[in-house]
Structure 1
Amino acid sequence: MGLAASKKEMSLRRRLYQVISVAGILLATSSFAQKTVVNTSVIIVDLNGSGNFTSIQSAINSLPDSSAMPRTIHIKPGRYYEKIFITKHNIVLEGEDRETTKIIQNIARDEWRCDHKDDWGVATLNLSGNDITLKNLTIANDYGFTQKEARTVSCASDSSGKKVITNSGHQMALRSMNTTRLKVINCRLSAYAGDTVSPWNLVNGMFYFKDCVMEGGVDFYCPRGDAYAENCTFYANTGPASIWHDGSTNPDYKTVLKNCKFDGYKGFKLGRYHKDAQFYLINCSFSEAMANEDIYLVPTNNEIKWGRRVYYFNCHRKGGDYAWHKDNLQTAQGSPEANTISAAWVFGNRWNPEKM
């Protein structure tokens, strides 16, 4: 009896030990899983290998297509020679410092379109996802800065089979396709020539820029849809106009530039349009290098259904104002007051980026 009881007691002890061991493993696994979730709520990209990924695109690819909450990818300082594609939604690309966290490519649009049917891939940053935020980054297309001489390339789309590529053609740092609700905060968007910043969506495009620097050539800031830029600096390297707008599918579409600064080469022109457009410039300042020419309509066969819509309020040029940018905000539809013009006013009740 004593020996049987001893064996039975030993068996019970072994079972109890097994239960405790399994429970401990489950608890440890649960704790590790919770820790992993916390640690990966912000994904770190570092060229030197101290983060979760060494490339930005790999970090983006690791995420599910959609999320109810923003997913943040924090990018450590460095020069990332990547062409970025974002087709996923609710993503934040956040650099550590605008001047030291740089995404760089060299792409001439004219050359790209020789072998591609559309613009997907034509820019340093190519967007097709919604609810995208960019912070504290330099996004540069360096083609025009590094390629000074014209080049002749094979070109399947040209009847001659070849094409001359110059450094004055379109060079996009940012190009969106179907994106809506894009926020760009404290970023530098840089190219030598045209269409540097091309947020395009004539269905429901909503684009918000704040505290940014943009530079390029012709139409280097050229939104299609609704756009709002505040406290931004624009610098024209070349070209016959700096800003451009396309609002041709909706009479309410507008581009608003508030508390912005404009500078460039001597004789740079402010802006132009060749489709229905609507410009609001509020509290803007112009350098003395700006030419004496208002935002102008390019000769076009396009029907301009809603007339000329270019509005100024409290805009001044260093060295003396030109007559054409005098206050005329009261002539805009609804006679809005300058202090009511904000991002919420531009996007209406569809989106207020300043509350998110």
Structure 2
Amino acid sequence: MASNHRVFTFILFLVSLHVNLHFISSSSSSSKADFERWVWWNMKNHRSRKAMESVSGRETRQMDEKLRRAEMNKVSISVSQDGNGDFTNIKDALSSIPPRNKRRVVLIIKPGVYREKILVPKTLPFVTFLGDSEDPPTITGNDTASVVSDDTGKPLKTYRSPTVAVDADYFVAINIKFENTAMHEVGREGEQAVALRASGTKTAFYNCSFMGSQDTLYDHKGLHYFNNCFIQGSVDFIFGYGTSLYENCHLNSVAKKVASLTAQKRTISSLASGFSFKDCLVTGSGTVYLGRAWGDYSRVVFSYTFMDNLVIPRGWSDWGDQKRDQRVYYGEYKCKGPGANMTGRVPWARVLTDEEAIPFLGTYFVDGDTWLIN
């Protein structure tokens, strides 16, 4: 009986969703803000589709409780290159945190340029990098995939090229610049040069900058949230198979020829993976595809985004594999600007309806109600 009740409740929700969407789309007085608030209320109370399919209520409560306790017992340590902090570099500050840490540890990183290669290991969850909003610290490096490791004597490859790599869960960065200064030259191999790799889940970035050229931001795997971030690169500069929401972010191309903003790697249709860009800005040099299909079922959606005229009219690339044309999920919803003109788009690009856009429009896309801290 309880199972039947849940099914009936969800059916009522779908009916309500259809009726309200019809009303909203036909009413000239309904605003975008009202629509999003309504969607958020419904999705929050009924959970996102992914949460309903893959996370039991018991598991969700456990995640919430673990995070709640970590936030209640937070501590902070400071990093300052002038010696007026607990540590003079970020590596030493991280090393001071005990393994299997269960409390939020805030690293207050003072302004400066930190030339360090940083790994936040899986054993250090609940770490926050906090910079000054007026003068954010820069963490910089210049490793590429072809650089030979001192430890192994072998090339680092893309995975180990990042200036900062985050393997830990519940990582947060606020007011930080992540940088890889290695430049991309057309035609040369091994120039992937990652500024940040995000491999942990339930990680968030606020007011951060990611500066690089080829493969700037490795959105590797897990649930990720980016808000008010600046992301700059040339080739595939946001890539990976993470499940990520980018809100109010600025994507800036420094490509000299034809390149791509994203290379998303969803490999099977059942994989809950994809990039959603909402209220973003696309600018820069060169000419760019919004995305090219690194995976057979690559999924990327742009909504309410301004696109300058650097966007190629075709919009999307199947990376030379036409079998992907019917498998990828590339959508656009109420975008603006000269680059958002759908005339000339590939026939397999989607102009999303209100119903189709809903799953991508809020933090429920990354199950944010279970882990994002207001």
Band the TM-score falls in, shorter-chain normalisation: 0.7 to 0.9
**What amino acid is the match of 2:113?**
R
**Cα offsets for 1:111-131 (capped at 9, x unmatched):** 247724665541100121111
Equivalent of residue 108 in structure 1, options 144, 150, 153 = 144
Alpha carbons of 1:196 and 1:80: their partners in 2 closer, same or farther (altered >3 Å)?
same
Q: Does residue 330 in structure 1 map to residue 364 in structure 2?
A: no
Deviation at 1:165, TM superposition (A): 6.2
Superposed CA RMSD in Å reads 3.2
Give the equivalent residue in structure 1 for 2:47: none
Q: Does residue 49 in structure 1 map to residue 83 in structure 2?
A: yes
Alpha carbons of 1:353 and 1:308: their partners in 2 closer, same or farther (altered >3 Å)?
same
User: Do the aligned residues in 1 keep the contact of 2:146 with 2:155 (CA within 8 Å)?
Assistant: no
Alpha carbons of 1:248 and 1:76: their partners in 2 closer, same or farther (altered >3 Å)?
same
Give the equivalent residue in structure 2 for 1:244: 263
SS across alignment from 2:260: coil
Q: Does residue 307 in structure 1 map to residue 327 in structure 2?
A: yes
Give the equivalent residue in structure 2 for 1:132: 171
Q: Does residue 196 in structure 1 map to residue 219 in structure 2?
A: no
SS across alignment from 1:57: helix
Paired residues for 1:1-356 under 5 Å: 41-87=75-121, 88-97=124-133, 99-112=135-148, 115-116=154-155, 119=158, 121-144=160-183, 169-177=191-199, 179-191=200-212, 193-201=213-221, 205-238=222-255, 240-249=259-268, 250-275=270-295, 276-300=297-321, 304=324, 307-318=327-338, 321-323=341-343, 324=345, 328-330=351-353, 335-338=355-358, 341-344=361-364, 346-348=365-367, 352-355=370-373
Alpha carbons of 1:104 and 1:185: their partners in 2 closer, same or farther (altered >3 Å)?
same
User: Do the aligned residues in 2 keep the contact of 1:70 with 1:90 (CA within 8 Å)?
Assistant: yes
Quick one: distance in 2 between partners of 1:340 and 1:142? Answer: 33
**Cα offsets for 1:32-61 (capped at 9, x unmatched):** xxxxxxxx9210000000000000110011
User: Do the aligned residues in 1 keep the contact of 2:79 with 2:108 (CA within 8 Å)?
Assistant: yes
SS across alignment from 1:312: strand
User: Do the aligned residues in 2 keep the contact of 1:274 with 1:300 (CA within 8 Å)?
Assistant: no
Deviation at 1:245, TM superposition (A): 1.0
**What amino acid is the match of 1:294?**
G
Return the TM-score normalized by structure 1: 0.73
**What amino acid is the match of 1:170?**
Q
**Cα offsets for 1:103-146 (capped at 9, x unmatched):** 1111122224772466554110012111111110111001218x
**What amino acid is the match of 1:221?**
I
SS across alignment from 2:172: strand
SS across alignment from 2:146: helix
Q: Which runs of 5+ in 2 are unaligned?
A: 1-73
**Cα offsets for 1:202-253 (capped at 9, x unmatched):** xxx1111110000112110113131110000001111521112112243432
Q: Which runs of 5+ in 1 are unaligned?
A: 1-39, 151-163
Alpha carbons of 1:99 and 1:115: their partners in 2 closer, same or farther (altered >3 Å)?
farther
SS across alignment from 2:85: coil
| Larger Rg computed on CA atoms | 1
Quick one: distance in 2 between partners of 1:318 and 1:208? Answer: 27
**What amino acid is the match of 1:273?**
A
Quick one: distance in 1 between partners of 2:172 and 2:339? Answer: 37
**What amino acid is the match of 2:82?**
N
User: Do the aligned residues in 2 keep the contact of 1:108 with 1:165 (CA within 8 Å)?
Assistant: no
Task: Report how many aligned residue pairs link the two structures.
Answer: 291
Q: Which is worse superposed, 93-102 or 271-280?
A: 93-102
Quick one: distance in 2 between partners of 1:190 and 1:319? Answer: 23
Quick one: distance in 2 between partners of 1:304 and 1:174? Answer: 28
Alpha carbons of 1:306 and 1:355: their partners in 2 closer, same or farther (altered >3 Å)?
farther
SS across alignment from 2:353: helix
User: Do the aligned residues in 2 keep the contact of 1:92 with 1:133 (CA within 8 Å)?
Assistant: yes
Which consecutive aligned stretches of 4+ in structure 1 deviate over 6 angstroms post-superposition? none
**Cα offsets for 1:296-355 (capped at 9, x unmatched):** 211249x75971311111111248724239972139xxx3454972111x124x764444
Deviation at 1:97, TM superposition (A): 3.0
SS across alignment from 2:283: strand
Return the TM-score normalized by structure 2: 0.70
User: Do the aligned residues in 1 keep the contact of 2:201 with 2:223 (CA within 8 Å)?
Assistant: yes
SS across alignment from 1:59: helix
Give the equivalent residue in structure 1 for 2:25: none
Quick one: distance in 2 between partners of 1:130 and 1:73? Answer: 16
SS across alignment from 1:214: strand
**What amino acid is the match of 1:176?**
A
